[in-house]
Amino acid sequence: MAKQNELAWWQRTIAYEVYPKSFLDTRGQGTGTIAGITAKLDYLQKLGVGAVWITPCYRSPMVDNGYDVADYYQIDPSFGTMDDMDELIARGREHGIRMVMDLVFNHTSEECAWFVESRSSRDNAKADWYIWRDAREDGSAPTNWRSIFGGSAWEWDEGRQQYYLHTFAKQQPDLNWENPEVRQALFDIANYWADKGVGGFRIDAITYIKKPAEFVDGPADGADGMSAVHAATANTPGILDFLHEFKAKVRDGRDIFMVGEANGVSADELDQWVGEQGVFDLLFEFSHTLIPMHPSEVWCRKAEWTLPDLKRALAASQVATATNGWYPAFFENHDQPRSTVNYFQCAGPLAEKAKVLGAVLLTTRGTPFLMQGEELGYGNAPWKSIDEFDDLSTRNQYQFALSEGLDEDGALAACVRYSRDNARTPMQWDASANAGFSSAEPWLPVHDDYATCNVVAQEADPSSVLNWYRKLAALRAERPVFTVGDWTALLVDDEQIMAFERTLDDSRAVTLVNFSDEPAVYDASLVEGLEQLACSQGTSTAGVLRPFEAVIWG
Ligand code: GLC
């Protein structure tokens, strides 16, 4: 198939996100290591993975688990050494797996040498490498913007007698991309890693790098009188100029891919962001992840949504990337709750729900991005108290919920439902102590059901979520219709079924999944003349789906 050969390696493969702190601890310290990833390359290869996105493992004070980088040229000692990383890159390539580094370029850690210098005076060489502003006349912050993690987005610096801007935590000062020296310093970092032979980059929080020409108060959107910084600074005109420069100086001429994290970009803008004329190869946009949440992204506010809403959001991205660019298909990442909880509004077995989502991910058009553990079908973790959470945004959402008038139980329930820590609990490898993740007490708890929900147990069970993922990964690799085939939504208004069709020359495949706990009927002529390639519950009858059944015809 000529068309299949025309795809780049990263379009034909499956990508897998590793949260290194929770993947595998080879040192008995309770947190994962780089060597732990190397030790599991066989496991990843069996899952059909060709690209591993590693969340930041650079030297960091770990206020935001590595998204606060102190030195982009060093590995944090808690994860190992640069030799460990070089070894991982090399061993990975032997397994046909390339590493994807996470570039955190909107901000650094306050401990980064650049910031230490920048804050030291108003006239040092890096004085304007960050966003500094004077106080208002009454001494208050320059604007009423609320940071993404809560509280003011401005922090007063005693030394400079000025405020600096932080879109996220106060320990994560925003860089000033207007300064060409800053941009060059960042491109140098990317090139250093590309020269090491990594397969690509995931670019963090990239929609915030361009600040508006004028800084003005936004309309208050919460009881605190503040206005979300996102509304003022996300996807500001002019941002694409910076990113075209990034592409020219880093991406061009290399066999790598760049996937941007683009909260604030919608499907109808994708053509400017991806493809030949765009700036990235792929873009994580979040319209579908926002469906199960209140539009304000405040966890304690109630979300109202239906399956057709979710389908419309997913279809918009498919349509936008049908002829230009490429789509990263995902339900989970380290900032999301587990998808078996997030995308279902009725009770039912987690394993069956996981198979429904797996069928969508692995047969849709685009490169599937799996979050570690998604292939085992975890639910959210059984949090019992706010003190068990590590994530700073969870703590902030808890406080915000209290300030909105919820009681402690209500605030906790919101965190249990949406916390980012749900995706960050340790990988469950086997039934031994701490699920085989570490010989020491893990930094976050493993699930109560780890004795049965783990890799070893699922490998031995032909009907497990893991074996479903492996089966679909193999199907996807064998049949070009699943990679290059066109994508068309079916049954768009159906309230129970998500369905789509893939077509390539004479071949046709249809995926049908039931998101509900009731049987769901559809017109059997949709699958006439097709064979059943995979069914999550034995054998399916054309025209009807059992509760949470997933079937692929082709
Ligand atoms: C991105 C990361 C998230 C992090 C934030 C700040 O959204 O995915 O985990 O907290 O950026 O760097």
335 lines ligand 1 (CB under 6 A): yes
Task: Give per-residue pLDDT as tens, 90-142.
Answer: 999 999 999 999 999 999 999 999 999 999 999 999 999 999 999 999 999 99
550 lines ligand 1 (CB under 6 A): no
Residue 134 and residue 195 in contact, taking contact as beta carbons nearer than 8 Å: no
Alpha helices in 374-489 (DSSP H): 392-403, 408-418, 455-460, 465-478
Residue 131 within any structural domain of the chain: no
Alpha carbon 522 to its chain's center:
33
Give the distance (Å) from ligand 1 centre to CA of residue 335.
Answer: 7
Query: Angle at Cα 495 formed by Cα 493 and Cα 498, nearest 5°?
Result: 75
Average pLDDT score over residue span 377-389 = 95
Residues 438 and 491 in one domain: no
84 lines ligand 1 (CB under 6 A): no
Helix (H) or strand (E) holding 313: helix 307-320
* Structural domains in the chain (count): 2
Domain extent at residue 496: 485-553
Short-list 27, 84, 82, 41, CA closest to 437? 27
CATH number for position 231: 3.20.20.80
Residue 169 within any structural domain of the chain: no
As given in the structure block, the two tokens for residue 94 are 């032997």
Q: Is the pLDDT of residue 403 over 70?
A: yes
Task: Give the confidence band of 1 by pLDDT, cuts at 50, 70, 90.
Answer: very low
* Total residues found in the chain within this entry: 554
Which residues are bridge partners to 132 per DSSP? 164
67 lines ligand 1 (CB under 6 A): yes
* Predicted local distance difference test score (pLDDT) of residue 223: 83
Residues 457 and 522 in one domain: no
Residue 125 within any structural domain of the chain: no
Residue 7 and residue 327 in contact, taking contact as beta carbons nearer than 8 Å: no
Whose alpha carbon is nearest atom 12 of ligand 1? 67
Residues 283 and 191 in one domain: yes
* Matching residue, tokens 């049954």: 491
Whose alpha carbon is nearest atom 4 of ligand 1? 67
Residues 446 and 496 in one domain: no
* Matching residue, tokens 């019992």: 384
Percent of the chain with pLDDT over 70: 99
Residues 60 and 193 in one domain: yes
pTM for the structure as a whole: 0.97
Give the distance (Å) from ligand 1 centre to CA of residue 494.
Answer: 35
Residue 269 within any structural domain of the chain: yes
Residue 554 and residue 531 in contact, taking contact as beta carbons nearer than 8 Å: yes
The Cα–Cα gap between 482 and 471 comes to: 13
Q: Which of 420, 440, 472 is the last residue of a domain?
A: 472
Task: Give per-residue pLDDT as tens, 36-88.
Answer: 999 999 999 999 999 999 999 999 999 999 999 999 999 999 999 999 999 99
Residues 103 and 39 in one domain: yes
Mean pLDDT of all residues belonging to the chain: 96
Short-list 165, 161, 154, CA closest to 130? 165
Short-list 368, 366, 201, CA closest to 270? 366
Short-list 249, 259, 258, CA closest to 187? 249
Give the distance (Å) from ligand 1 centre to CA of residue 531.
Answer: 43
110 lines ligand 1 (CB under 6 A): no
Residue 339 within any structural domain of the chain: yes
Percent of the chain with pLDDT over 90: 94
Residues 214 and 305 in one domain: yes
Give the distance (Å) from ligand 1 centre to CA of residue 116.
Answer: 22
Q: Assign 240 to helix, strand or coil.
A: helix
Sheet of strand 497-504, all strands in order from the earlier edge strand to the far edge:
486-490, 497-504, 507-514, 550-553, 532-535
Give the distance (Å) from ligand 1 centre to CA of residue 529.
Answer: 47
Task: Give per-residue pLDDT as tens, 196-214.
Answer: 999 999 999 999 999 999 9
Top mutation candidate among 60, 69, 167, 204 for ligand 1, by most atoms within 8 Å of CB = 204
Average pLDDT score over residue span 390-415 = 95
Average pLDDT score over residue span 380-386 = 94
Alpha helices in 13-102 (DSSP H): 34-39, 41-46, 82-94
Task: Give per-residue pLDDT as tens, 216-263.
Answer: 999 999 888 999 999 999 999 999 999 999 999 999 999 999 999 999
CATH number for position 498: 2.60.40.1180
CB atoms inside a 10 Å sphere around CB 27: 16
Whose alpha carbon is nearest atom 11 of ligand 1? 205
Q: Is the pLDDT of residue 4 over 80?
A: no
* Strand 162-165 relative to strand 132-133, pairing: antiparallel
174 lines ligand 1 (CB under 6 A): no
Residues 494 and 359 in one domain: no
**Catalytic center residues:** 204, 261
Residue 206 within any structural domain of the chain: yes
* Predicted local distance difference test score (pLDDT) of residue 268: 87
Residue 332 within any structural domain of the chain: yes
Residue 378 within any structural domain of the chain: yes
The Cα–Cα gap between 468 and 477 comes to: 14
* Strand 227-228 relative to strand 132-133, pairing: unpaired
Residues 312 and 461 in one domain: yes
Residues 373 and 498 in one domain: no
Task: Give per-residue pLDDT as tens, 269-315.
Answer: 998 999 989 999 999 999 999 999 998 889 999 999 999 999 999 99
Q: Which atom of ligand 1 is nearest to the CA of 67?
A: 12
Q: What is the DSSP string of 52-67?
A: EEEPP-EE---TTTTS
* Matching residue, tokens 């090491």: 196
Residues 335 and 435 in one domain: yes
Q: Is the pLDDT of residue 388 over 60?
A: yes
Q: Which of 438, 472, 506 is the last residue of a domain?
A: 472
Task: Give the confidence band of 425 by pLDDT, cuts at 50, 70, 90.
Answer: very high
The Cα–Cα gap between 176 and 182 comes to: 7
The more confidently predicted of residues 548 and 295 is 548
* Predicted local distance difference test score (pLDDT) of residue 224: 87
Residues 278 and 359 in one domain: yes
Average pLDDT score over residue span 526-547 = 98
Q: Which of 442, 472, 502 is the last residue of a domain?
A: 472
